Amino acid sequence: MKIDPKKVSLGKLHNTLLGSVGPRPIAFASTIDKDGNKNLSPFSFFNVFSANPPIAIFSPAKSGRTNTQKDTYNNVKEVPEVVINIVNYSIVQQMSLSSTAYGSEVDEFVKAGLTPIASETIKPFRVKESPVQLECIVKEVVELGNEGGSGNLVICEVKLIHVDDSILNEEGTIDQHKIDLVGRMGGDFYVRAQGEALFEVPKPIRQKGIGVDALPEEIRNSSILTGNDLGMLGNVEVLPSIAENSFSENWDSKQNAAQDLLKASKIEEAWKVLLD
């Protein structure tokens, strides 16, 4: 299937983009208008883009049906401050409820049953139940279009970070098992970063891997080893020495055994089995 964005409905384009680009982190944005009215709304067009200075960007899009701006957009134009509250599994249903298109006079903290607590550097309130809260000033708002569905990049500089002590490990850093994050998928789907969904991949910047192209042809063209397997085998600094009969005796059995070791991230052991 091929999709030309200019030749399909906005709904089909929107569903295709959100169904393929994910999981997306969620910015649970708390803002305030010039009269002090609170607003709380989630946005999954969101990420961090810099650590020095610390910059986060999220995008409240114009309504595809009415071509009107979100209250969050209007608020940050009036009061250029926002708290980005991080969403974990324990508040995902309340977060979803807050996305209802309430009127600007309605307090989503109340509707969602969440607790507003005062920020230290800005006016908008934090969500007490959120495991991490980012107090931000809005540096710039970049409007990406004039039609319904167009986004608005809200570029934020993080001024203060609040982290719940209960999600820290013994080293004082955020434990990815404890924070229990959720991500937005397409349609009504979310994903929970917990249990078997979490896995580690060693970063290649720690060493200069030899690459898949440097693997022996018998390994590179294997019908058993997957692309992920080859990527792990290529993430070593030096190609191990190859025995004369490595690829002739019990080759299929060796590959299956090596694959089991790779699933357990035992790369050196997998190489030993393949080249024994």
Question: For the chain, how long is the longest CA-to-CA vector?
Answer: 79
- Identify the sign of the CA torsion 201, 203, 207, 212: positive
Same domain, 87 and 212: no
Q: Which of 151, 171, 196 is the last residue of a domain?
A: 196
Residue-level pLDDT at 55: 98
- The CATH number of the domain holding residue 186 is 2.30.110.10
Q: Is residue 184 part of a domain?
A: yes
CA distances 256 to 34, 174, 232, Å, are: 64, 36, 15
- Identify the sign of the CA torsion 106, 112, 115, 121: negative
The domain tally of the chain equals: 2
Q: Is residue 212 part of a domain?
A: yes
User: CB–CB of 95/190 below 8 Å?
Assistant: no
Neighbours of 224 (CB within 10 A): 14
Neighbours of 221 (CB within 10 A): 10
Same domain, 216 and 178: no
Beta bridge partners of 158: 136
Same domain, 61 and 77: yes
Give CA–CA dist 205/207, Å, rounded. Answer: 5
Q: Is residue 2 part of a domain?
A: no
User: CB–CB of 154/70 below 8 Å?
Assistant: no
Q: For the chain of 276 residues, list the mean pLDDT of each consecutive stretch of 10.
A: 93 94 97 96 97 97 86 97 98 95 91 97 98 98 92 97 97 97 96 92 79 94 96 92 81 95 93 91
User: CB–CB of 155/70 below 8 Å?
Assistant: no
Same domain, 14 and 85: yes
Residue-level pLDDT at 205: 63
Residue-level pLDDT at 164: 98
Q: Is residue 1 part of a domain?
A: no
Task: Supply the range of the domain harboring residue 227.
Answer: 204-275
User: CB–CB of 149/64 below 8 Å?
Assistant: yes
Q: Is residue 261 part of a domain?
A: yes
